[in-house]
């Protein structure tokens, strides 16, 4: 989850590398200081799909269903 953020410049389309939130903010502040010195940092933040660690909830649900089917078949 440490490499889940990427920032885009609102002025020129520059993008940071994927990284942590604080790394992206620092990189964007540096970019604005060099390329757009008299403009407040802006733009947008992208979140990497699948970075939330999701998917295990589905696996747990499938496991419970299989367990219930096994228990139901024994009766």
What gap in Å lies between CA 2 and CA 48, rounded to an integer?
10
Higher pLDDT, 12 or 49: 12
How many structural domains compose the chain? 1
**Segment among 4-13, 22-31, 36-45, 54-63 with least mean pLDDT:** 54-63
Residues facing residue 28 across a β-bridge: none
What gap in Å lies between CA 28 and CA 67, rounded to an integer?
50
Q: Domain range holding 68? A: 5-73
Question: Model confidence at 31, in pLDDT bands (50, 70, 90)?
Answer: very high
Give the rounded percent of residues in the chain with a pLDDT score beyond 90: 40
């Amino acid at each position: 989850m440490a490499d889940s953020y990427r920032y885009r410049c609102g002025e020129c389309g520059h993008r940071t590398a994927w990284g942590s939130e604080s790394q992206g903010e620092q990189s964007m502040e540096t970019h604005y200081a060099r390329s757009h010195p008299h403009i407040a940092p802006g733009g947008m933040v992208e979140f990497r799909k699948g970075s939330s660690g999701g998917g295990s909830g589905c696996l747990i649900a499938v496991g419970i269903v299989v367990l219930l089917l096994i228990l139901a078949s024994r009766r």
